[in-house]
Structure 1
Amino acid sequence: MSKIWSRLSGLFRNRTFIGADKAGNQYYVRTEQIDGIMKEKRWVEFKGEVDSTSIPVEWICWLNGQRKIAPTPEEMAILEARRQRKENVALLKKEEEERKAREGTGRKIASMGKGDGPDLKSFIQQLPVDKSAEASEATSSKRSAKIHEEKEVQDQAKQETESAEPTGSGASFRPGTWQPPT
């Protein structure tokens, strides 16, 4: 009976309080010699009902020996704030989806593919007219006339040489006239 009593009293005398979590659970450590080797024993005392799911991950890692140093209150506060932010983001996303479902399909976002693009003609018409714009308009009309002539030349070349043999654009090619497609 005295051995049991000495072990129980030793259990409570040699323990060192390490910290507590937000649920009120308290964490302790005790160093004891087992078979000539100093071992560190770590445990938790639950506040109220024993519920292992109430232990935060950081304290679980410390209890299992995956962490050498117990989590500090500052670290726990930072991690709790991060968890709360994640919960808030998930809640906001859920509310946004519910709002969109109530509103219906709402406005549709047009995709910008290769064929879709801004209407440049209407944009240019909105700009104030000045002399430099008139000059650039004249050069653009010259370019479009040149491109039109080149297309006619290419069409004529195609009509003249309709054969099964592959042909290049050597007959109709003019250096410096190529323009990227618009």
Structure 2
Amino acid sequence: METKDAIYGRRSVRKYTDKPVSDEDLMEVINAGLMAPSGINLQPWYFVVVKSEEKLKELAQITGQVFGKFKPVLDNRFSKNPEAIEETKEFLNSMGGAKVCILVFLLKDNYEDFTTVVEGTSAAIQNMCLMAYDKGLATCWLTAALRVGIGEELRQKFAPDKGQYLAMLTLGYPAISPKMPPRRDGRYIII
């Protein structure tokens, strides 16, 4: 696959098949994240790969709290699309049946330049999304738990000696093929 095919083809998928992700493919996805660029080469990320059925259930118990707190945002954003709100509720409660979830934390607290470490960590997440797509896998990059204040609970449960929780990726084989949402105009200028 060419890079541009992964960039243009990747979608956020919220429903997965029961097919397990191989350890080999999982490691390629993780290693793609580890290869990301970062400001002054801090490599500020720490990934917790949640794969066991027991731990996925524990994770779902925490993420299930997100919908109630996030619903006002969804009501505002999708006021004319109640189906999207219901789909989001189902997804947050079940992680779409994903066989793997990758929790993304900062390696430590108290970086001098928080913006720089978030940028580097975001590059790592994008690398993982693109590698997953290259492997025939799908992802969904979730930030709602951080937005509604559940990030610290996730950190305490899954990475108590690491830094702030930033995001989660669901990972698995797609059960659906979402269409690309329209791209918005006015997002760049060439001068």
TM-score (norm 2): 0.18
TM-score (norm 1): 0.19
Q: Which structure carries more relative contact order (alpha carbon 8 Å, separation 6+)?
A: 2
